[in-house]
């Protein structure tokens, strides 16, 4: 398709739809803006989990079973780390460690994350533009009901999302600049797709970066629900909503984005939610949003692109 | 044996004799002092090649084919480093990377290399005391005939010992303190064994650390020649001697150490060199110094220990 599209994405779910879009669009017409709020320093390495998941997925290098990490990877380093008494809860693969080592070295040498990512993508053969939401270090913090403030990976991986959440903070967000070219990409695209990622911890950080909401205000934005029948395919979204005493439905997702979206894509299982969503003035597309395999990614991407196109002004 | 012994060691050859001594002695009676002059920072990691070779060898974790690196290791990280345009000439194994990551993290947290090494050894099940020659960062530099000053690993691994050498420097040596307990270990041992390591770049750095020569002056020190028929088993020693216009023989090695040693162990192939060595007043032991397999290590160690014992005063 000839459309210019920007996708906002977090980890595995977002990466899968981004991969579908990558297959459906001319690669130069796709920009994926990726959450970096869950970036962290681990064993001295600057790790960008969502960015890697999106890059690896588009490059065809992702582990097909987990969705994160690299295919054909091993865990010899991580086993040695454990043996030596180091923290081994973040499962760093051996191949993946190569990425982390070189990224860390280049960041320490003063290079920007966006420049490093562009270079990595060229080496991995990814022709779409993948942008971290910022070159500044932003840290998503999870507030828990027992009054702790956890780093995202501590909450998500180490504590396996067990703590009950009461809110989220994006430390460093006020001073963070959008990465170079990101706002221009939004301004010059036909429409923006919010991928089926966690609104609280994957999409909100992106939306909170300076100038992003203003740029989106003029755009046709559509969101793909990350919930089917109130459940997330992966991750703690449904649990988070219950802990925040909000019912996890596609209506809830719609409300979350209501100020910025024109269209909403929900699963056929949630068809009964359509009327309430459309009552917000938001046009709804019903389809099968589960991406079970690679062909599903493209199928959903094409449906989303067709839906988005239908929402554009005729001129 | 009930003897207290200190061994001075560099990389593979030194590690093999140290391993023999470890099998022949009660472990609490063996201290191995290891060269750290070839330590370097690579991809942000604090790497101690000789220290790792000695520890891995005594732990039974060393790669039996190369002598360096770990057994059952992979190179997935290094391949990824290469793909991303990083330097891949130093073959960091994946298991080994776990060691480097934890050591680097702990050094950055202010821990001493000697403390980290003791802890690693306890986790690897090594019961002898393995001491880096210093907790300070010392860098062996290779002066070349074309007037360059190369970092040791740059010379040794990256440039494969191709440049012709004219001398050696140990940058940082003046300010380096011996690691805690090291001088005391020398003072309280029965005798000191200089392992069959490179005198220029493995043993001289240790001998150059403050207080080491003074401590050795009162001791019975014996050296095991690293040359057989003028050739080194591994490494560039023979080539270095030729470039320095010195004939590589066990006589040359003896002269190198003549101020500190009482006994010299040379190969049976070099039996004709005995008279000249003994003319320096140094007692010579002739044996088979090649360690082809693990049993050879213990056999040579026992011979060296017997020889050393024979040189001790009777009281």
Residues 6+ apart with CB under 8 A from A284: A263, A264, A265, A266, A274, A277, A278
For residue B104, give the nearest of A44, A79, A108 by CB distance: A44
Assess A60–B contact: CB distance below 8 Å, yes or no: no
Residue ranges of A 39-58 with Cβ closer than 8 A to chain B: 43-45
Q: Which residues of B touch A45 (CB under 8 A)?
A: 101
Residue B92 has pLDDT above 70, yes or no: yes
Query: Counting beta carbons within 10 angstroms of the beta carbon of residue B253, is it exposed (0 to 12), middle (13 to 18) or buried (19 or more)?
Result: buried
Assess A229–B contact: CB distance below 8 Å, yes or no: no
For residue A102, give the nearest of B86, B98, B101 by CB distance: B86
Prediction pTM value: 0.94
Q: Which residues of B touch A83 (CB under 8 A)?
A: 98, 123-124
For residue B43, give the nearest of A77, A84, A105 by CB distance: A105
Q: Å from B101 to nearest chain A CA?
A: 6
Please give the pLDDT value at position A100: 98
Quick one: how far is CA B206 from the chain centroid? 9
Mean predicted confidence (pLDDT) in B293-309: 96
Inspect the interface and report whether the beta carbons of A43 and B119 lie closer than 8 Å. no
Asked whether the beta carbons of B7 and B32 are under 8 A apart, the reply is yes
Mean predicted confidence (pLDDT) in B216-228: 96
Q: What share of chain B is helix, strand, coil (3-state, %, to 5)?
A: 45, 20, 35
For residue B101, give the nearest of A43, A98, A108 by CB distance: A43
For residue A102, give the nearest of B84, B93, B119 by CB distance: B84
Q: Å from B268 to nearest chain A CA?
A: 42
Mean predicted confidence (pLDDT) in B219-243: 94
Please give the pLDDT value at position A234: 85
Assess B269–A contact: CB distance below 8 Å, yes or no: no
Q: Which residues of A touch B74 (CB under 8 A)?
A: 74, 76, 94
Inspect the interface and report whether the beta carbons of B77 and A95 lie closer than 8 Å. yes
Query: Counting beta carbons within 10 angstroms of the beta carbon of residue B240, is it exposed (0 to 12), middle (13 to 18) or buried (19 or more)?
Result: buried
Residue of A74, A75, A80 to mutate, interface with B, max B Cβ within 10 Å: A80
Assess B117–A contact: CB distance below 8 Å, yes or no: no
d(CA A39, CA A139): 7
Domains of chain B: 5-138+172-311 (3.40.50.10680)
Give exposure, B120-131, as e/b (b: 16+ Cβ within 10 Å).
bbeebebebbbb
Assess A107–B contact: CB distance below 8 Å, yes or no: no
Please give the pLDDT value at position B203: 98
Q: Give the number of other Cβ atoms within 10 Å of residue B45's Cβ.
A: 22
Please give the pLDDT value at position B1: 60
User: Which string of DSSP letters, residue by residue, matches B192-205?
Assistant: EEE-SS-IIIIIHH
Q: Of B52, B65, B68, B54, give the one whose Cα is nearest residue B21.
A: B54
pLDDT in tens, chain A (315 residues): 678 999 999 999 999 999 999 999 999 999 999 999 999 999 999 999 999 999 999 999 999 999 999 999 999 999 999 999 999 999 999 999 999 999 999 999 999 999 999 999 999 999 999 999 999 999 999 999 999 999 999 999 999 999 999 999 999 999 999 999 999 999 999 999 999 999 999 999 999 999 999 999 989 999 999 999 999 988 899 999 999 999 999 999 999 999 999 999 999 999 999 999 999 999 999 999 999 999 999 999 999 999 999 998 875
Angle subtended at Cα B96 by Cα B91 and Cα B101, rounded to the nearest 5 degrees: 110
- What is the average pLDDT score of chain A? 96
Assess A79–B contact: CB distance below 8 Å, yes or no: yes
Q: Å from B94 to nearest chain A CA?
A: 5
d(CA A140, CA A170): 4
Size of interface A-B (CB pairs under 8 A): 109
Q: Of A159, A137, A165, A181, give the one whose Cα is nearest residue A41.
A: A137
Please give the pLDDT value at position B218: 87
Residue B315 has pLDDT above 70, yes or no: no
Q: Which residues of A touch B87 (CB under 8 A)?
A: none
Residues 6+ apart with CB under 8 A from B212: B133, B178, B182, B183, B186, B206
Chain B residue with the nearest C-alpha to that of A119? B84
């Amino acid at each position: 398709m000839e459309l210019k599209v920007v996708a906002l994405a977090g980890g595995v779910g977002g990466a899968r739809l981004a991969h579908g879009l990558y297959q459906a669009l001319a690669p130069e017409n796709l920009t994926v803006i990726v959450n970096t709020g869950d970036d962290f320093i681990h064993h001295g390495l600057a790790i960008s989990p969502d960015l890697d998941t999106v890059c690896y997925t588009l490059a065809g290098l992702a582990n097909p079973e987990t969705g994160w990490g690299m295919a054909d990877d091993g865990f010899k380093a991580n086993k040695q780390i454990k043996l030596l008494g180091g923290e081994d809860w973040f499962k760093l693969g051996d191949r993946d460690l190569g990425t982390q080592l070189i990224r860390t070295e280049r960041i320490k040498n003063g290079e920007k994350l966006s420049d490093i990512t562009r270079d990595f993508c060229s080496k991995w053969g990814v022709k779409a533009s993948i942008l971290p939401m910022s070159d500044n270090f932003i840290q998503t913090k999870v507030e828990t009901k027992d009054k702790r403030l956890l780093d995202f990976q501590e909450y998500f991986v180490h504590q396996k999302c067990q703590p009950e959440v009461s809110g989220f903070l994006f430390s460093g967000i006020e001073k963070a600049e959008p990465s170079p070219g990101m706002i221009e990409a939004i301004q010059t695209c036909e429409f923006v797709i919010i991928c089926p990622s966690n609104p609280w911890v994957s999409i909100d950080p992106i939306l909170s970066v300076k100038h992003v909401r203003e740029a989106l205000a003029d755009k046709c934005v559509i969101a793909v629900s990350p919930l089917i029948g109130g459940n997330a395919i992966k991750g703690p979204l449904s649990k988070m909503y219950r802990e925040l005493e909000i019912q996890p439905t596609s209506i809830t997702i719609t409300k979350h984005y209501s100020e910025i979206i024109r269209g909403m894509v929900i699963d056929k299982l949630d068809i009964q939610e359509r009327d309430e969503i459309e009552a917000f003035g938001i046009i709804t597309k019903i389809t099968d949003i589960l991406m079970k395999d690679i062909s599903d990614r493209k199928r959903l991407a094409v449906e989303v692109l067709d839906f988005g196109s239908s929402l554009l002004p005729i001129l």
